[in-house]
Amino acid sequence: MESKERLDVNGQLTLKELPYIIQWDANKCTRCGQCTTVCPQKAIEPSVTVQRVVTSEGPLPLPQSVRQVSQGIKQVTDIERYCVGCGVCSQVCPNDAIFPEYNPVNKFAFHKNQGGVPHKRGGRRNSTETSTMDKLQFSRISMLTDPALDAGRHEFHIRTLLGRNLAPENMPLTIKDDELGLDEMAFIPPTREIFPIRIGGMSFGALSPHMWEGLAMGVAYLNEVENIPVVMCTGEGGMPSRLLKSRFLKYFILQIASGYFGWDEIIHAIPDMQEDPAAIEIKYGQGAKPGDGGLLMAFKVLDLISKVRGVPMRVDLASPPTHQTKYSIEEAVAKMITSMSMAFGFRVPVYPKISGSQTATAVLNNLARNPFAAALTIDGEDGGTGAAYNVSVDKMGHPIASNLRECYLNLVKIGKQNELPLFAAGGVGKTGSLAANAAALIMLGASGVDCGKYIMQAAAGCLGDEYNRCNLCNVGRCPKGITTQDARLYRRLDPDKVAERVVDVFKAADTELKKIFAPMGRSTQLPIGMSDGLSINDKAIADQLQIKFAS
């Protein structure tokens, strides 16, 4: 038996406690050291080990024990340097000698609060359960009673409206000689006809310049060459002044959030704007971390970000959990919507974005009465974030499908479902089914959806997943160069390639939406609220969503 002293290692962890364990093959390894160089966590380090090796030389078996010194790599058990499973080591290894393996029995959560600091990270909710969106089936297919449409032959108009619509009874129309006219002096709220899948708010700051540029180029190409009017939200933090004054501004939704970062620059650029932005999004909440503010850490606040946001370099930029001016929805929120509308001459739709919540209908009902509220975006619990406490990401929030449906049915009840469009976000394309998730949410009542994580994975190869993989967005060490301001890292990402992939994604989604809508006999209008097209193999969910149960 070992002495008691040798086992007194309470402060140390074994590899089994960690979420990922490095599998390393000494026979394949060339000892080049690249894996230890690229590891963003310094979770592996070169090691020298002494081993006892039994060898036998000569014609007869004469085994003898030899002590041998060998070089290799070793995974550290320091919880602050835990392996995040990103797999960049595998990517650089010339011989496939190393890869991280998920450890399902890890005890990470028991230890990652050293010094009294809870675990913070980027990414998404670590839940591998199938979302309601992914359980929904499109089951009302036009069969022999009527001919279905042909996705390849008929013309499809996959577009939605972003912006407030008047109540039909309030249309400022005149009739003269059996012809309708428009009273041009009357105020008609602005709307934009856009592709129903948007790129949701990811800030210039959270994203690297190459990633942001790639997205922006892809969006511009989709609009101007492919005729797919995709719009993209800036997230908090504004955008480069050069773009604010460019003709491309119309493809962007400018977000204002609780830190108001970037808005000094935006307001000053208004006189020089050639185009109006697509819309203004007032962010009151984020699905991934409801009730939590934002934090752009000091080491991401370098030259470019400090200029765009109008702040000094190398300081933490904290956005408060709520807008400091927000004391009641009737006054403060309404005033903010009106003020933002006024700043852009009432030519730009202004709408709030909130976290999915049981209180969403209260917000909705208030917005329904506000003639300047252009829409409502609801962001569900499966949304992503650049930085948050783990407990917020994993445990806070509301699933989007039921929250959206509840809000839509509420609008139906008061007859305003076409007046106040709902946009749904949070986990759209979580398992790769971007178009199917979008179509399902549209049929539940969304006018459109936002995607964020999907586009990061599809366009830039983001490594995050529901097994806590990578999730280093908050510390600026993104191994793919997506969420970092470190030029050594973001040079790994080619903005042209990102743009190409953005175009691929939306062209494919456009085709897939047609393939879903055609057999259901819908082509000229988006089937918003066409809930009879959906079914689900779960009676309780079917009842809650008021759709068909089909097993």
Partner 1 sequence: MCRLSAIISDSYFSPMENIMALETMKEGHDGSGLGLVLRDLGGEFENLKEFPILSGICSEEGLKTMDEYMVSLGFKTKYLWDPEINETGSGIRSRGFYFARAYEYPDWAEAAGEKVKFDLLAQTRLDLREMGMEDESITVFSFWPDLITLKEVGDPLDVGIFFGLEQKSLLAKNILAQGRQNTNYAINLYACHPFFLEGYSTMTNGENTAFIPIREFLTGRGLPGYVGYRSDSEVFCHILHYMRKQLGFPLKYYKDVITPLFDREMTERTDRKAIELIKRVLRPLTIDGPNCVIGTDIDGTIFMVQDAKKLRPGVVGGVPGKYALMSEVCGVDAVIPERDRSKDVFPMKYDMVMINKDAKEIKIWNQKNGSMSTVN
Instruction: Write out the residues near partner 1 by the rule CB under 8 A.
Output: 142, 145-147, 149, 154, 157, 161, 165-169, 171, 173, 175, 178-182, 184, 188, 191, 193, 412-418, 520-525, 527-532
Amino acid identity at 472: L
At its nearest, how many Å lie between partner 1 and the CB of residue 539?
20
Encoding tokens for residue 419?
Answer: 């007046």
In b/e form, how buried is each residue of 52-71, taking b as 16+ CB within 10 angstroms? Answer: eeeeeeeeeeeeeeeeeeee
Q: 172 or 320, CB closer to partner 1?
A: 172
At its nearest, how many Å lie between partner 1 and the CB of residue 140?
8
Q: 187 or 327, CB closer to partner 1?
A: 187
Q: 228 or 489, CB closer to partner 1?
A: 228
- Asked if residues 417 and 392 have their Cβ atoms less than 8 Å apart, the reply is no
Q: 67 or 413, CB closer to partner 1?
A: 413
Q: 385 or 417, CB closer to partner 1?
A: 417
Q: 66 or 186, CB closer to partner 1?
A: 186
Q: Token pair 């934002």 is at which residue?
A: 294
Q: 60 or 144, CB closer to partner 1?
A: 144
Q: 135 or 140, CB closer to partner 1?
A: 140
Q: Write the Ramachandran bin of 480: left for phi over 0, alpha for psi from -120 to 50, otherwise beta.
A: alpha
- Asked if residues 390 and 119 have their Cβ atoms less than 8 Å apart, the reply is yes
At its nearest, how many Å lie between partner 1 and the CB of residue 346?
16
- Asked if residues 400 and 378 have their Cβ atoms less than 8 Å apart, the reply is yes
Q: 75 or 160, CB closer to partner 1?
A: 160
Amino acid identity at 379: D
CA distance 296 to 311: 12
Handedness of CA 66, 70, 75, 81 (dihedral sign): positive
CA distance 370 to 411: 14
Q: What are phi and psi of 310, to 5 degrees?
A: 70, 45
Number of Cβ within a 10 Å radius of residue 540: 9
At its nearest, how many Å lie between partner 1 and the CB of residue 546?
10
At its nearest, how many Å lie between partner 1 and the CB of residue 434?
23
Q: What is the CA radius of gyration of the chain?
A: 27
Q: 524 or 537, CB closer to partner 1?
A: 524
- Asked if residues 193 and 250 have their Cβ atoms less than 8 Å apart, the reply is no
Q: 129 or 169, CB closer to partner 1?
A: 169
Reference 124, options 479, 390, 436; nearest CA is 390
For residue 536, give every residue at least 6 positions away whose Cβ sits within 8 Å of its Cβ, in sequence order, or none.
Answer: 132, 135, 136, 137, 542, 545, 547, 548, 549, 550
At its nearest, how many Å lie between partner 1 and the CB of residue 300?
42
Number of Cβ within a 10 Å radius of residue 110: 10
CA 403 to chain centre: 18
First to last CA, the chain: 60
C-alpha torsion angle, residues 30, 31, 32, 33 (rounded to 10): 150
- Asked if residues 351 and 376 have their Cβ atoms less than 8 Å apart, the reply is yes
At its nearest, how many Å lie between partner 1 and the CB of residue 186?
10
At its nearest, how many Å lie between partner 1 and the CB of residue 529?
5
Q: 257 or 547, CB closer to partner 1?
A: 547
Reference 425, options 287, 328, 258; nearest CA is 287
Largest CA distance in the chain: 115
At its nearest, how many Å lie between partner 1 and the CB of residue 14?
58
At its nearest, how many Å lie between partner 1 and the CB of residue 411?
8
How do beta strands 179-182 and 173-176 pair? Answer: antiparallel
Reference 133, options 508, 464, 457, 433; nearest CA is 433
At its nearest, how many Å lie between partner 1 and the CB of residue 163?
9
At its nearest, how many Å lie between partner 1 and the CB of residue 540?
21
